[in-house]
Amino acid sequence: MNLHKLRNLIGNYLFVIPALVLFFTFSLYPFFKVFQLSVTDWDGISPTMHYVGFENFVDLFTDNPVFWLSMKNAGYVTFLALTAQNLLALLLALLCDREIKGGNVYRVIFYMPPVLSGIVVGLIWNWIYDGNYGLLNHFLEFIGLQEFTRAWLSDSKTALTAVSVIHMWKGFGWGFIIFLAGLQSIPRELYEAARVDGASSWVVFKNITAPLMIPVFMLVSILTILGTMQIFDIIISTTGGGPGYHTEVPITRILSTMIGSSKFGYASVMGVVFGLILLAISMIQIHVSRMMRQV
Amino acid sequence: MDPVSVTDNLEINYEKIKRVTVSFFTHLFLVVVSVSCIFPLWWAFASSLKTQETVFNDLSLFPKNPQWQNYYVAWTKADFGLYFLNSLFYTVTVVLGVILISSMAAYAFSRLQFPGRNALFLVLISTMMIPIQSASIIPLFVLLNKLHLINTQLGYILPQINGGLALGIFLLKTFFDDLPKELEDSARIDGCGRFRVYWHIALPLARPAIAVLAIFNILAVWNEYLLAMLVLSSKSLMPLQRGLMVFQGAHITQYPLLMAGIVITVLPVLAVYLLLQKHIIKGITAGAVKG
Amino acid sequence: MGPSIKNIISLFLILLLSGCGTGQKQDPNTVTVWHWMSDREETFEILAQRYQQETGITVKFELFAPSEAYAQRVKASAQTNTLPDIFGILGEKRDFASFIKSGYVADLTEEMNIEGSAWKNRFFEKALAVNEFTEGNPHGVQPGMYGVPLDVTTIQMVYNKKLYTQAGLDPDAPPKTWEQFIAHCQKLKDAGIPRFVSGFGEIWMIDALASNLAMNLMGEDKVFKTYKGEVPYTDPDWVRVLSLFKQMADEKILVEGGVTMVNKTAEQTFANERAAYAFNGSWCVNVFKGMNPNLQYAAMLPPAVNVSHPVKIWGGAGSSFMVNKQSERRAGAVQFLKWMTDNAQQVTLAKETENLPSTKSSLDDILPILKEFADDMDNATHPNLYPVHESPQVTEAFDKGIQSILIGEKTPQALAEEVQKLKEKESRKKSS
């Protein structure tokens, strides 16, 4: 390789060096350390620890039903988010896509929930769901559906769904913005041509909008899965993982193993396994998205 | 009356009624959702004007005796002036850092050739998907200590820049991938070096994607507190969220003051979002539709 | 064209480099204290200034909140030997032990015992106990005193006198036995008054009440034997303890939603007179004062299930401070802590934040309601004092199981069997 080419190559690398330096220092190195800790029995405090090999991993896979229950719970919330939350976001985006009155105002309003801090969200929703004085129960009584009133966050049947609603309420704003952006990039001429041909709204959506929006759907669904599986601050400020284990999620389990049981090594294993599962899911999604676009 | 025109009239009326009803329900739906979004912020605002004794009893949407002084008390008691400036500094620095560093890297991944390009890209992106936050905070602390960055602004800023890189690179690379090459090619022919092409041509065109990145990271840095608690000790370096902690005691939460503090911290973000959202819509389009 | 390359990069680098500034340099004699008590930040500043005036030494208080973030900070700093001169250790006693064994905590036994134990004798016995490791402790820590208690708390019950009168009950006669408690609850129910609230969403609160009832029902020794593994959880006494919770569920004694309520919400509920009883800590006095100064309430012990055993409550040191063994200002730190636990300072602390002082002489100036809590200190015990500890997994399963009982999802018998199975599994793991 001649000098000119070498200089060129170095120049190219320089563009990515700052990012790589930061990444190796602040992401890769700590992650590597965590991986190291996952094969020990460290308690988080003492300067000594013992190597336990893959004992932690084995235990996690064979003898920790609570962790997998928490994965199931997170999966349930994610499923709801992928469907109900994103459908809502899509619907709102479709409505705001047309030249609707106050479109800009709505954009700002729908972005308010994501901006709010967890404290306010927790306080408000605890009040809405309260068993005795909550707004939801008051409303149900008001419209004559008393028999449905209950302590939403303490009832084993409704606790997880109630928490999911909070998460979806807080999250739909992001999906809304992204969907709206995607919709606005579809050339209007396509719609006009379809209308001239007499197509109904549903046909227009099915044949024009949806296919063009596939990449956007994929982006939103990846972000939704990643964000929802890691849910935890809403849980902590409303149910604390209860009643029983009904609203436990992977992150709350990791935290309680790390801090409550002082089993830092074991908690690291949970983190690593959880991360790898999320990585696998995302990779599959990206692959599917690439395949669908070639269709 | 002519039977044909009667039917025509009926049809036209039917169409009109349908349109009006649909429009009515559409607006009703939008309004209902909007109310649910505004309500918490309004409640926080109303609560900030009540007193500790009445904050949970008085359910009015606006108290009869608004305690406007709560805002003054919150501002001074929580040293908001100092923390505000700190947060402003951190936010600007981190956002600038993320934009500069990730756009350069994204440009390289998109337009420049070098061995290991694809592999490096995948590795960088994958960090977005691994939630090692909870467990890696202690190794991160140990590392920062080794680098003598504990209780320094740099030690607080660098990890946050790093945190925003993955999404930034992902978004901007897909954006750059779709820029027509002609502009850049003609600039190259004119003798512009890589960097000038990147700076003067690619980057300005990427303004929408940059706006997206900006709002994402602004919100993240503005609301950050765990890293602050871990890395910083001196009050003079603390960000906004530290100010809010003053009102959240281990046992006593001073709700009206806390709510005032929250309103104070939320308004700037909403203001910035208002300014940037025009760009954002265009931004996410390009990144996502092709992404 | 927009701002030139050079401008933006220069701006960025300037910002970055100016970020190289660290916190202020400090005088080598300054004593640094890390704490999590946001409620007391102001009071601590006042005391620091007072100390400065009296001795000329600067004391710097640094607050890290919430307590979870504080605990993380302390653990992380321990890893890098950057702990301050004075700090507190939150968490279980085994964490405390780990800190000591790792060499981060100074042994204060000597300072406590000099001059005829002048310093040690100031404190309530129970306040010291939490900071003490005795001969033959299960953690393998060298016996001694390792912390200084700042205040004392108890976790027990309070009841609303006004609601009692409303229900036709004598406001000065709270229930002393479980039967009385159930009877009073019936009357309250008839009067349409919600009965019992507690922060059961935080499972340690369940743990507190459950262990109180257990120790009263079967005696402390049997409870410890169970932790050791000599008595199974399927023993009828344990099933009876769990049945008490079932009874609370069946008679709807626990307010709606109590199972997932955090303590702060529970405090709000009681302060707003929406519950007749609360199971809470003595810090609630300060909370109630702020939320409802007109609240008429009194403290009581949890009702006795079995009158032949004493009623036990959790109590002892509320917040304590430890001295960093590796600090160069050890002597200064100890001196400051001695001063902090002087009568004058204890009274200031107690007055400003309505907490129980840890020193015996300071009781006179506190609120009467607080005195009621102080009187019950004799009944206090604390998990950190137990001669043997239950494993955290078993405790969690036990407490979460009680949540399930409270929502009618599990029966006491089933939970007892489940917990026993888990306990046996954990013991097998330990021995292997």
pLDDT by residue (tens digit) across B150-198?
A: 889 999 999 999 988 888 888 788 778 777 788 778 887 887 778 888 8
What percent of chain C stands above pLDDT 70? 94
Q: CB distance B250–C38 less than 8 Å?
A: yes
Q: Which amino acid type is present at position C141?
A: V
Q: Where are the domains of chain C?
A: 19-153+318-378, 154-314+387-426
C contact chains, 3+ CB pairs < 8 A = A, B
Give pLDDT, residue C234: 93
The residue-averaged pLDDT of C186-205 equals 92
Q: Which residue of chain B has the CA closest to A266?
A: B135
What percent of chain B stands above pLDDT 70? 90
Please report residues of A whose CB lies closer than 8 A to that of C403.
242-244
Pairing of strands C313-317, C144-145: unpaired
Question: Does position B288 have pLDDT exceeding 60, yes or no?
Answer: no
The residue ranking higher by pLDDT, B242 or C246, is C246
Give pLDDT, residue C419: 94
Give pLDDT, residue A119: 75
CA dihedral B214→B220→B223→B226, nearest 10 degrees, is: -150
Complex ipTM value: 0.83
3-state secondary structure of A54: coil
| CB of A130 less than 8 A from some CB of C | yes
Q: CB distance A177–B281 less than 8 Å?
A: yes
Give pLDDT, residue B202: 82
pLDDT tens sequence for chain A (295 residues)? 678 888 888 888 888 899 999 988 988 888 888 888 888 888 888 888 888 888 888 888 888 889 999 999 999 999 999 999 999 999 888 888 776 666 778 888 888 898 887 778 888 888 888 877 788 888 888 888 888 888 888 888 899 999 999 999 998 988 887 788 778 777 778 888 888 887 777 888 888 888 878 877 877 888 889 889 988 888 888 888 878 899 999 988 988 888 878 888 888 888 888 888 888 888 888 788 777 766 5
Q: Which residue of chain C has the CA closest to B142?
A: C80
Q: Choosing among C67, C73, C259, which should be mutated to test the A contact, i.e. which has the most A CBs within 10 A?
A: C259
CA C227 to chain centre: 21
What percent of chain C stands above pLDDT 90? 56
Q: How far apart are CA C430 and CA C359, in angstroms?
A: 41
The residue-averaged pLDDT of C209-233 equals 93
3-state secondary structure of B254: coil
Q: Same fold for the domain at C19-153+318-378 and the one at C154-314+387-426?
A: yes
Q: Which domains does chain B have, with CATH numbers?
A: 79-250 (1.10.3720.10)
3-state secondary structure of C63: strand
Q: How many residues are present in chain B?
A: 291
The residue-averaged pLDDT of C400-426 equals 92
Q: How far apart are CA C390 and CA C419, in angstroms?
A: 12
Q: Choosing among A7, A20, A34, A287, which should be mutated to test the B contact, i.e. which has the most B CBs within 10 A?
A: A34
Residue C24: pLDDT band (50, 70, 90) is low
Q: How far apart are CA C405 and CA C399, in angstroms?
A: 10
Pairing of strands C31-35, C59-63: parallel
Pairing of strands C144-145, C277-281: unpaired
Fold of C154-314+387-426: D-Maltodextrin-Binding Protein; domain 2 (3.40.190)
The residue ranking higher by pLDDT, B286 or A241, is A241
pLDDT by residue (tens digit) across C339-365?
A: 999 988 998 988 888 888 888 877 777
DSSP code for C361: G
Please report residues of A whose CB lies closer than 8 A to that of C92.
262
Please report residues of A whose CB lies closer than 8 A to that of B258.
119
pLDDT by residue (tens digit) across B91-125?
A: 999 999 999 999 999 999 888 888 888 888 888 87
Architecture of domain C19-153+318-378: 3-Layer(aba) Sandwich (3.40)
Q: How many residues are present in chain A?
A: 295
Segment (H or E) for A219: helix A210-229
Angle formed by the axes of helices A118-129 and B255-289, nearest 10°: 110
Pairing of strands C320-323, C148-149: antiparallel
Give pLDDT, residue C334: 93
Please give the mean pLDDT across all residues of chain B: 83
The residue-averaged pLDDT of B246-272 equals 86
Q: Which domains does chain A have, with CATH numbers?
A: 67-294 (1.10.3720.10)
The residue ranking higher by pLDDT, C225 or C116, is C225
Q: What is the pTM of this model?
A: 0.86
Nearest CB among A34, A117, A181 relative to B132 is that of A34
Nearest CB among B150, B157, B229 relative to C82 is that of B150
B residues 36..95 contacting A (CB < 8 A): 36-41, 43-44
CB atoms near residue A40 (< 10 Å): 20
Instruction: Note whether B165 and B105 are within 8 A (CB).
Output: yes
The residue-averaged pLDDT of C126-143 equals 88
Give pLDDT, residue C309: 92
Q: How far apart are CA B178 and CA B161, in angstroms?
A: 25
pLDDT by residue (tens digit) across B8-48?
A: 677 777 888 888 888 888 888 888 999 989 988 888 899 89
Q: What are all long-range contacts of A107-110, with beta carbons under 8 Å and residues at least 24 apart?
A: A107/A176, A107/A177, A107/A180, A107/B277, A107/B281, A108/B270, A108/B273, A108/B274, A108/B277, A109/B34, A109/B37, A109/B38, A110/A172, A110/A173, A110/A176, A110/A177, A110/B33, A110/B34, A110/B37
Question: How far C42 CA sits from the closest chain A CA (Å)?
Answer: 23
Question: How far C245 CA sits from the closest chain B CA (Å)?
Answer: 27
3-state secondary structure of C198: strand
3-state secondary structure of A281: helix
pLDDT by residue (tens digit) across C138-187?
A: 888 999 999 999 998 999 999 999 999 999 999 999 999 999 999 999 99
Nearest CB among B26, B114, B162 relative to A12 is that of B114
Segment (H or E) for C315: strand C313-317
Q: Residue C298's beta-bridge partner residues?
A: C159
Question: What does the block give as tokens for C100?
Answer: 């000591």
Q: Which residue of chain C has the CA closest to A132?
A: C256
